[in-house]
Amino acid sequence: MPFPTSISTDKLARLIGTTNTPALIDVRPDEDFAADARLIPGAVRRNHQEAADWGKDFAGRSAVVICRRGQQLAQGTAAWLRYVHVRAEVLEGGFEGWKAAKLPLVPASKLPARDAQGRTVWVTRARPKVDRIACPWLIRRFVDPNAVFLFVAPAEVVAVGERFNAAPFDIENAFWSHRGELCTFDVMVEEFALATPPLSRLATMVRAADTGRLDLCPEAPGLLAASLGLSRIYDNDLEQLKAGIAFYDAFYRWCRDATGETHGR
């Protein structure tokens, strides 16, 4: 029988990638992490011994604590978090249980260096359309929920990346960019080991809209139209990103839950 303050891998897997995702806190010690340096999608690492200090950062939120097997480190950390008003649960079976269920795990080696606040920082060209909205959505939902995105003049992306320790994306000759027929979103899904059926389907839609190959899937013209429409509505790239993340939430849920559903009078 599940403990009242625990959550199953199945339930957590359904929450990840949605607007209801709790904060995911990986408290595996360095030796456990070194044995398998991957993260449950969207998880951040924290030192369990300092939970009383950093716990307040999650006050008022829901959180799931992850250790190797869901035992004392996670239980103790979750108890501290509840003490500072975090609605904290423990992942049943911990990291090993998640891995045994063959659920996605993000290689930590693929993540850019984090800033002083523990965030990944990314930079790309201003005035985004498709890839430059889809990729931030993927990162925020499955890689780093606190990621920062900088939109700058195209000619300055590389220099800004160097000066501000930001990872360039969706520009020529960058690691995070198009590869052959794949768009940047495809590359991120592959590199971050996130190729689940829903994200693979969404990747086809993004690739088709971003590269003008609208015959790849019937949803591509609608995605392109919505993307171009957003770019006309918003002058501020960050406001456009906020709005774009909302509609990618909807596209993702359609890819995951509603592709077989029709609508009629």
DSSP the chain: ---TTEE-HHHHHHHTTSTTPPEEEE---HHHHHHS-EE-TT-EE--GGGHHHHGGGGTTSEEEEE-SSSSHHHHHHHHHHHHTT-EEEEETTHHHHHHHTT---EEGGGSPPB-TTS-BEEEEESS--SHHHHHHHHHHHHT-TT-EEEEE-GGGHHHHHHHTT-EEBSSTT-SBS-BTTB-HHHHHHHHTT---HHHHHHHHHHHHHHHT-GGG-TTHHHHHHHHHHHHHH-SSHHHHHHHHHHHHHHHHHIIIIITT-----
What is the average per-residue pLDDT within 166-171? 98
The set of residues, in sequence order, having a beta carbon less than 8 Å from that of 167 and lying 6+ positions away, is 112, 120, 121, 122, 123, 161, 175, 176
The set of residues, in sequence order, having a beta carbon less than 8 Å from that of 223 and lying 6+ positions away, is 130, 205, 206, 208, 209, 251
CA distance 88 to 80: 9
Q: Which of 223, 148, 135, 143 is nearest to 176 (CA)?
A: 135
Residue 3's pLDDT is 57
Q: Which of 185, 42, 63 is nearest to 119 (CA)?
A: 42
Q: Which residue has the tokens 């991120």?
A: 188
Average pLDDT, the chain: 96
Higher pLDDT, 4 or 111: 111
CA distance 137 to 18: 11
CA distance 247 to 254: 11
Could you say which of 2.60.40.1120, 3.10.20.30, 3.40.1710.10, 3.40.250.10 is the CATH number of the domain covering 6-107? 3.40.250.10
Residue 263 pLDDT class (50, 70, 90 cuts) = confident
Length of the chain: 265
Give residue-wise pLDDT tens across range 179-226: 999 999 999 999 999 999 999 999 999 999 999 999 999 999 999 999
Give the start-to-end residue ranges of the domains of the chain: 6-107, 111-258
From the CA atom positions of the chain, what is the Rg in Å? Answer: 19
Give percent above pLDDT 90 in the chain.
96
Give residue-wise pLDDT tens across range 35-45: 999 999 999 99
Q: Which residues of 107-117 are buried (b: 16+ CB within 10 A; e: fewer)?
A: eeeebbebeee
